[in-house]
Chain A
Amino acid sequence: MVSQTVRPDSIEAIADLVAGAHRVYHLQPHPFRGLAASAAMDGTWLDLSRWSGVVHHYADDQTVVVRAGTSLSELQAALAGARQTIPWAQLDGPALDSDITTLIGLNLPHPLMAQHGTWRDWVLGMTVVRANGTVVKLGSRAVKNVAGYDGTRLLTGSRGIFGIVIEATLRTYPLGGLATLDLQLGREDVVHCIYRLQRADVELECERLAESLVAYDRAAHTLYLSQAVPAPLPHAHRWEVGKPPAQSTAVSALRVAMKRALDPDDKLNPGEYDEVVA
């Protein structure tokens, strides 16, 4: 099979395409993905750029329904008219114009996470195309909901391996209520590693890693570094350019079991976690 890029413009077209495909890659290129493994493989590259736009902004409820091919900047511009926003902040870099499905898939730390949470907190509901091409809805538009299993939290940050998020219902926040960044800036450089520590460890690590410190988020006790951390501390978490985040043995076993249940042919974004399996 030869790689091809497709740009469907309807749910039906996406679903048909996925049902008939052998392998489907559907997150946009991003520095914090381990792209090498995926890029070597043949399959269908699903570009969701023609499946974009805000479906409805329920400004009074502070929720928005958005097609997942919408770029974050386009979504923010649409929300700004009602003085609302998705409380995502970033250091300089290419992430801003990723589409929503990629941002949900990666769920990276960001400098407002301590104050306003991450995509896991903002996603109230999603429409997902499964590996077999069926279209399913998870969650609802209410801000509180415990009906059934919360697949939204599992799919957020799962790098697209369990399903393709094609529409999301998100919480929005008043622009006026946005927290100010609690950042101490270091050297101007590209971030290669995000390093989240325990609160009690952070001051000493700041000193140890001063040479590569791009920014220190005091509220989330997270360091943004220009290179990988030598000898990370216990209980710390790392996100590194070009690598999938580490998974514990237990989580890796659950991932395999879940993949078998949801995508037994390993059709969706194969290779995202290859490094860890190996």
Chain B
Amino acid sequence: MGRFEIDSLVRELCLRPDQILTGSAAERAYDCDAYTVDRSRPTAVTLPERTEEVAEIVRWCVMHSVPFTARGAGTGLSGGALPALGGVVISTKRLTKILEIDVPNRCLLAQTGIANRKLSDAVAAHGLHFAPDPSSQNVATLGGNIAENAGGPHTLKYGVTAPHIRGCRMVTANGEIIELGGRNGLGGELDFLGLVVGSEGTLGIVTEAWVELTPLPREVETALIAFGAVRPATETVAAIIASGVIPAALEFMDRGILAALRAAFGLVYPDGTDALLLVECDGDDRAQVSREMAQVEQIARDLGAIEIRRAQDAADRAKLWAARKKGVGAMGRLAPTVVTHDGVIPRSALPEMLDAVYRIAADHQIGVANIFHAGDGNLHPCFYFDDRDPDQIRRVVAAGEAIMRECIALGGSITGEHGVGVEKLDLMSLMFSEDDLAFQRDLKRALNPGDLCNPCKVLPMNKSCVEHKARWRGTAW
């Protein structure tokens, strides 16, 4: 796509000049998301304000065979919003309206550029919230959550994004506007909505969504449990799950994270702490919530917890959560660069898997800290290193792949919530056979036959993507 096409784009679309960005500043600003290893510049960035405008842009792209990529806040961690073959970025930055709040039926309709947090803020007074809570929820958009089927700390009890989306208005890959599901969910319809959620923006662009609103629990109990070693903490997680208690959140942090928190924020934990579990139980029945938390604490004590702090009130709870919320940010104190991986395993394998993570990091001589959604078996090993050293980068990539192989060997997956994007394209064939991938290719082909809609994502490379891949790599390569 060159100057001629940009002129034609500006001329032919009914967008105001301030809705089309071109030039080197725009190209640089939109050349990657929060996964910064690979970069690719768009030719133009568009800022539609209505579904019809999105459809018009898509139809223009299809007519001119120009690739297009939707983008929310750019907080994705696998390169899902990277315009892999250039072309047009369709930003949802101005699609931020809540269109209807239906309190009696516990749902709302919003444009998908709205930040996740604002959905919950809008209905908090009614005792409701939008349950998916990715750590980036202050800025991450509803559309991005839908594209990645985002999770978060409370996924353990409330589920990932998919079950909280009742319906959507979507611009298909050929520019038609369609509706899937709606105010009252799907009924007996085929679940194309479930296929679209988590498809990383490759099957169309969701511009509006009906989201489920969940009542806020009346009773919440939170505890921070310290262990003198990693193994008893991971065994506690496995034992809690096996006992049948389903906490609202069950999060793990290790010594590396605690060191970072101490350095960054002065947060101090009991002497000898090597691992922390943050456990939250909630519900409407006070006695039951207390019973569940007592059961959790008993399991932890039996397995060797050295200290248990129970939150006394909301302010105290916020303090306990500080470790989890600030943990990843604090990692910046440990090294110039942090790469967060995302793998999943069946939960009973957690003790074995975490041993493997430390072993793999040691084998590759890389620092690792762990902070993750333990209750879901969703690991986030964070490698910290210096990306000015190509050798360190290679070791980080090799260690990441070794961890993913281990996840698959234990019956898990290469991603629990960050998505495949471009980051994990090459790992898909570790998890899926060629026949499995052919089936997925057919699923994609049915909804995105021309492959102009966010190309080079999710499934291993087609030829044009392979040719471009060398260009995506960041400066360190």
Chain B binds chain A: yes
**Which chain A residues have a beta carbon within 8 Å of chain B's beta carbons?**
58-63, 83, 107, 117, 120-121, 128, 130, 134-138, 140-151, 153-154, 156-158, 163, 174, 176-177, 196-200, 235-239, 244-248, 250-251, 253-255, 257-258, 260-262
Q: Are B183 and A198 in contact (CB under 8 A)?
A: yes
Across the interface, B440 reaches (CB within 8 A) one of A148, A200, A238, namely A148
B447 contacts across to A, CB distance below 8 A: 254, 257-258
State A224–B387 Cα separation when bound (angstroms).
Answer: 61
State A235–B107 Cα separation when bound (angstroms).
Answer: 13
CB A20 to nearest CB in B, in angstroms, measures 18
**Which chain B residues have a beta carbon within 8 Å of chain A's beta carbons?**
104-106, 148-149, 151, 155, 159-160, 162-163, 178-180, 182-192, 194-195, 197-199, 238, 241-242, 244, 246, 344-348, 373, 376-378, 411-420, 424, 428, 431-433, 435-440, 442-447, 458-459
State A147–B189 Cα separation when bound (angstroms).
Answer: 24
B437 contacts across to A, CB distance below 8 A: 148
Q: Are A147 and B424 in contact (CB under 8 A)?
A: yes
A236 contacts across to B, CB distance below 8 A: 184
Q: Are A146 and B443 in contact (CB under 8 A)?
A: no
Quick one: given A138-B436, A200-B104, A260-B446, are A247 and B190 in contact (CB under 8 Å)? yes
Q: Are A235 and B183 in contact (CB under 8 A)?
A: yes
Q: Are B187 and A237 in contact (CB under 8 A)?
A: yes
Across the interface, B346 reaches (CB within 8 A) one of A63, A130, A198, A254, namely A63
Across the interface, A146 reaches (CB within 8 A) one of B416, B432, B433, namely B416
Q: Could you name 26 residue pairs across A and B whose Cβ atoms are closer than 8 Å?
A: A61-B241, A134-B439, A136-B433, A136-B435, A140-B412, A142-B344, A142-B376, A142-B411, A142-B412, A146-B420, A147-B424, A149-B443, A149-B444, A150-B195, A154-B443, A163-B439, A197-B184, A237-B186, A245-B188, A246-B188, A248-B179, A248-B189, A250-B178, A250-B179, A257-B446, A261-B446
State A58–B475 Cα separation when bound (angstroms).
Answer: 45
Across the interface, B413 reaches (CB within 8 A) one of A142, A238, A255, namely A142
B419 contacts across to A, CB distance below 8 A: 146
CB B184 to nearest CB in A, in angstroms, measures 4
State A42–B190 Cα separation when bound (angstroms).
Answer: 25
B435 contacts across to A, CB distance below 8 A: 134-136
Q: Are B246 and A177 in contact (CB under 8 A)?
A: yes
Quick one: given A153-B191, A196-B187, are A148 and B149 in contact (CB under 8 Å)? no
Across the interface, A177 reaches (CB within 8 A) one of B244, B412, B415, namely B244
B151 contacts across to A, CB distance below 8 A: 144
A235 contacts across to B, CB distance below 8 A: 182-184
Q: Are B440 and A142 in contact (CB under 8 A)?
A: no
CB B427 to nearest CB in A, in angstroms, measures 8
Q: Are A157 and B188 in contact (CB under 8 A)?
A: yes
B438 contacts across to A, CB distance below 8 A: 134, 136
A177 contacts across to B, CB distance below 8 A: 244, 246
B149 contacts across to A, CB distance below 8 A: 146, 150
Q: Are A146 and B148 in contact (CB under 8 A)?
A: yes
Q: Are A141 and B412 in contact (CB under 8 A)?
A: yes
State A167–B368 Cα separation when bound (angstroms).
Answer: 38
A254 contacts across to B, CB distance below 8 A: 178, 190, 192, 446-447
CB B273 to nearest CB in A, in angstroms, measures 26
Give me 18 other A-B pairs in contact (C-beta within 8 A), A140-B412, A147-B431, A251-B190 excluded: A59-B242, A136-B436, A136-B439, A142-B344, A142-B376, A144-B160, A150-B198, A153-B194, A157-B190, A158-B191, A163-B439, A196-B184, A198-B104, A237-B186, A238-B188, A257-B446, A258-B446, A262-B443
> Which chain B residue has the least Cβ–Cβ distance from A239?
B188
Q: Are A148 and B377 in contact (CB under 8 A)?
A: no
CB A170 to nearest CB in B, in angstroms, measures 13
Q: Are B411 and A141 in contact (CB under 8 A)?
A: yes
State A238–B149 Cα separation when bound (angstroms).
Answer: 28
CB B163 to nearest CB in A, in angstroms, measures 6
CB B356 to nearest CB in A, in angstroms, measures 15
Quick one: given A198-B184, A260-B446, are A60 and B424 in contact (CB under 8 Å)? no
Q: Are B346 and A154 in contact (CB under 8 A)?
A: no
State A255–B195 Cα separation when bound (angstroms).
Answer: 12
State A149–B191 Cα separation when bound (angstroms).
Answer: 13
State A149–B149 Cα separation when bound (angstroms).
Answer: 11
B190 contacts across to A, CB distance below 8 A: 154, 157-158, 247, 251, 254-255
Q: Are B187 and A148 in contact (CB under 8 A)?
A: no
Among B106, B344, B445: residue with most chain A CB under 10 A: B344
> Which chain B residue has the least Cβ–Cβ distance from A150?
B198
Quick one: given A143-B377, A147-B424, A200-B105, are A251 and B195 in contact (CB under 8 Å)? no
Q: Are B194 and A154 in contact (CB under 8 A)?
A: yes
State A50–B431 Cα separation when bound (angstroms).
Answer: 29
Across the interface, A149 reaches (CB within 8 A) one of B105, B199, B411, namely B199
Across the interface, B244 reaches (CB within 8 A) one of A107, A117, A174, namely A174
Q: Are A140 and B439 in contact (CB under 8 A)?
A: no
CB B213 to nearest CB in A, in angstroms, measures 11
Among B148, B182, B188, B415: residue with most chain A CB under 10 A: B188
State A143–B431 Cα separation when bound (angstroms).
Answer: 16
CB A75 to nearest CB in B, in angstroms, measures 18
B197 contacts across to A, CB distance below 8 A: 150
Q: Are A144 and B416 in contact (CB under 8 A)?
A: yes
B162 contacts across to A, CB distance below 8 A: 150, 153
State A121–B162 Cα separation when bound (angstroms).
Answer: 10
B155 contacts across to A, CB distance below 8 A: 144
> Which chain B residue has the least Cβ–Cβ distance from A199?
B105
A248 contacts across to B, CB distance below 8 A: 179, 189
Q: Are B443 and A258 in contact (CB under 8 A)?
A: yes
B160 contacts across to A, CB distance below 8 A: 144, 146
CB B172 to nearest CB in A, in angstroms, measures 9
Q: Are B439 and A138 in contact (CB under 8 A)?
A: yes
A250 contacts across to B, CB distance below 8 A: 178-180
Return the 5 tightest CB-CB contacts between A and B, nearest first: A245-B188, A237-B187, A153-B194, A174-B244, A200-B104
> Which chain A residue has the least Cβ–Cβ distance from B184?
A235
A198 contacts across to B, CB distance below 8 A: 104-105, 183-184
A151 contacts across to B, CB distance below 8 A: 195, 439-440, 443
> Which chain A residue has the least Cβ–Cβ distance from B424?
A147
